[in-house]
Amino acid sequence: MGNGLGCIPGTQPNGGVGSRSKSNSRSQRKTITEEDLLHRQALAMAIQQHQLSQRFDGSMSRRIGSTSSRKQTPSSSFRKPVPIVLDSLETKKIILVHGEGFGAWCWYKIIPLLEEAGLHPVALDLMGSGIDHTDVNSILTLADYTKPLLDYLHNLHEDEKVILVGHSCGGACVSYALECFPKKVTKAVFLGATMVCDGQRPFDVFAEELASAEVFLQESQLLLYANGNDKPPTGLMLDKEKLKGLYFNQSPSKDIALASVSMRPIPLAPIMENLSLTVENYGSVRRYFIQMLDDRVLSSYIQEKLVRENPPQEVFKLRGSDHCPFFSKPQSLCKILLEIVQLI
């Protein structure tokens, strides 16, 4: 489809979910093992702390979350919670798709909350993310990056459906999946995400606040050049000194610590490619947008622009949340997701 990213349903890129970078070097395998161990220890500690806090003040935190949501303006689309009638749901399965640099680990607070409500959440690592050690410099297309999600949808039973939730740049992966498997998805939720239009690149969402792609590629000091400095950049490092103020300005310190040892470089090619989205496929699935009002990565102006240019079914506004509500406002985020699940 020209320079656009086409999608051939049922045709998957080479490789498998959770594949490891193919290296025969003993030292590289040792490094990977050490990284896995460090990540798992950090995640286990964060989960343990979260469970302890839930045990002692879980009921209070739920009441606080509920009160804050009722104080929101009518435009926030928050309504009084309605008990979930599981038998009436189109699907109980929610697939959580992380954003750039993150992994399945970032949903550790959301998964138990959704499970308590009787739903079946599934968090996936995209290629080169989380504990998938595919070299980010080798991920050349959005199809490659999204492969674990595409494989999951491809392997569903013919009559099985899911709800997709995409965070940040994970929104582009969700859009791509809708184009490939529209009949497998009942709803798509864009969580402060790159909800792009047909022909647009995920990077275009950030370009207005960062710079043009050309200027960005010329001036950024965080780019990776695996093929040499005279070739196009292949990846983007995260400036961990700026992450706290940019991504986590409302998040607990323990979650910032978890992110600091778990976030990975970002494959650059997938966010620089144009998406080809059709009305027949992508446009046939109901979309919902959750806007974070204290987001410093995607400003309210940019989020509202996304909604204007590519209108979803409904918009929900989450106050007091930074770019990562799964850390800063897990209870409130879960309530919104539960409400979307029940919408007919």
Cβ(137)–Cβ(160) under 8 Å?
A: no
CA-nearest of 141, 105, 136, 109 to 260 is: 105
Catalytic residue among 69, 76, 168, 262: 168
Outline where the chain has alpha helix (H). Answer: 26-70, 110-116, 142-145, 147-154, 170-180, 202-207, 213-219, 240-246, 253-262, 300-309, 325-328, 330-342
CA-nearest of 144, 141, 132, 146 to 178 is: 146
CA-nearest of 113, 106, 139 to 21 is: 139
From residue 120, how far is each of 48, 100, 107, 154, 247 by CA, in Å?
21, 24, 13, 18, 27
d(CA 269, CA 169): 13
Catalytic residue among 98, 133, 167, 323: 323
Tell me if residue 138 is catalytic: no
Catalytic residue among 132, 255, 295, 322: 295
Tell me if residue 27 is catalytic: no
Tell me if residue 36 is catalytic: no
Strand partners, 191: 167, 290
DSSP string, 26-92: HHHHHHHHHHHHHHHHHHHHHHHHHHHHHHHHHHHHHHHHHHHHHTS-GGG---------GGG-S-S
**Annotated catalytic sites, by residue?**
168, 295, 323
